[in-house]
Amino acid sequence: MAGRYKAVAVESRYWKPRDDYITQLIQTIENIVENGDFVTVSEKAVSTALGNLIDEKSVEPSRLAQFIAKYWMRLVWPYILGPICHLRKKTITFLRSYPPEEGSLHKQLALQQSGFLQALMHGSEGAIDGSNLPHSYVCLPLENAQEIAHELRERIETELGKRVTVAIVDTDKTYSSKGFHFTPRPKPIKGIHSRGGVLAYVAGRSLKLKKRATPLAISGPQITTEEALEIARIANRTRGTGAGRTVWDMAKTFNVNLTDVTWKMLDSVKHRPIVIIRPKTQMTQ
């Protein structure tokens, strides 16, 4: 299916809280987008622009959160679940030195926001994400992704006169087996089952099921779940990782500690929150 599309990542400046990201998106794509395109947007970028952030320094960790950070993350994940889930050696190395103090704050927030099974994940607990964010901020998942996708599509059609499909996607994976799709993260599109938290993650990874980025909202002509997953996969592959795929990668990029990344540092990195995907049949017409 991938051969049916051509994709281009559109570079934009880093979207900060209270930025008018819709106007920036429209200005960025106005000379590129065509009728029939899929305009895919990173959930993380939108959520950050909306100020959907929490400073984890404001969190008070419970004993359970401290236990998860100090023992579950530093022992169970690197020595048991990591190998079962076929994690990269670099990830396992990072987990062995998981920071218990900062980690307990993160796990407490995950417990509060998403529950126990999500807090046991080794990252992206309940789609809470700290990569490409400064200091001790983390980004929460969108609660109204479908409404945002509709608004984006309507603004593009009104201001640019282009009929497009807008998709909001996330890097967290959806796993597929014989037409059944499931993900550990909350609120995917209809047709993808969200349940189990760490259990879903371990099942998908340990069984080496087909994995793709997760579509969270689609606004435009109706498409199948399989096509939405393929669009999300192409967008994720094309977009790149900004300052880093994980908080550890981000800190390494800037050669600082985990919580010492600044807004200015992030401004210096190329960001591509938008990927335009065009059906090749459309290009030949």
Contacts of 3 (CB under 8 A, 6+ apart): 280
Do 176 and 268 lie in a common domain? yes
Do 278 and 182 lie in a common domain? yes
pLDDT in tens, 138-159: 999 999 999 999 999 999 999 9
Residue 281 has pLDDT above 80, yes or no: no
pLDDT in tens, 177-198: 999 999 999 999 999 999 899 9
Residue 1 has pLDDT above 80, yes or no: no
In angstroms, the CA 285 to CA 279 distance is 11
- Please indicate, yes or no, if residue 192 is contained in any of the structural domains: yes
Q: Which helix (H) or strand (E) holds 219?
A: strand 210-219
- Please indicate, yes or no, if residue 125 is contained in any of the structural domains: yes
Structural domain boundaries enclosing 214: 2-51+142-244+264-283
Do 149 and 126 lie in a common domain? no
- Please indicate, yes or no, if residue 86 is contained in any of the structural domains: yes
Q: For the whole model, what pTM was predicted?
A: 0.93
- Please indicate, yes or no, if residue 259 is contained in any of the structural domains: no
- Please indicate, yes or no, if residue 70 is contained in any of the structural domains: yes
pLDDT in tens, 229-247: 999 999 999 998 877 788 8
In angstroms, the CA 171 to CA 233 distance is 9
Do 8 and 105 lie in a common domain? no
- In 13-80, DSSP assigns E strands to 38-42, 53-55
Do 22 and 112 lie in a common domain? no
Which residue intervals of 97-209 are DSSP H helices? Answer: 100-114, 116-119, 145-160, 198-206
- Please indicate, yes or no, if residue 59 is contained in any of the structural domains: yes
Do 274 and 188 lie in a common domain? yes
Among 95, 123, 139, give the residue marking a domain's end: 139
In angstroms, the CA 243 to CA 16 distance is 15
Among 139, 170, 205, give the residue marking a domain's end: 139
- Give 283's pLDDT tier (boundaries 50, 70, 90): low
So what's the pLDDT on residue 2? 53
Report the CATH number at residue 46.
3.30.1330.100
Among 107, 139, 171, give the residue marking a domain's end: 139
CB 279 within 8 A of CB 5: yes
- Please indicate, yes or no, if residue 117 is contained in any of the structural domains: yes
So what's the pLDDT on residue 3? 72
Do 37 and 60 lie in a common domain? no
Do 135 and 173 lie in a common domain? no
Do 95 and 189 lie in a common domain? no
Please compute the mean of the pLDDT values over residues 203-222 and round it to a whole number: 98
Please compute the mean of the pLDDT values over residues 100-112 and round it to a whole number: 97
Q: Rounded to an integer, what is the distance from CA 27 to the centroid of its chain?
A: 23
Contacts of 1 (CB under 8 A, 6+ apart): 226, 227, 230
- Looking at the 3D structure of the chain, how many domains does it have? 2
Do 181 and 208 lie in a common domain? yes
pLDDT in tens, 37-72: 999 999 999 999 999 999 999 999 999 999 999 999
Angle at 15 between CA 175 and CA 26, to 5 degrees: 90
In angstroms, the CA 202 to CA 229 distance is 20
pLDDT in tens, 117-140: 999 999 999 999 998 999 999 999
Do 151 and 134 lie in a common domain? no
In angstroms, the CA 274 to CA 226 distance is 21
Beta bridge partners of 40: 167, 275
Mean pLDDT of the chain: 95
Beta bridge partners of 182: 175, 193
First to last CA, the chain: 19
CB 232 within 8 A of CB 40: yes
Do 222 and 84 lie in a common domain? no
What percent of the chain lies above the pLDDT cut of 90?
89
- Please indicate, yes or no, if residue 255 is contained in any of the structural domains: no
Question: Which segment of 101-105, 268-272, 274-278 scores lowest on mean pLDDT?
Answer: 268-272
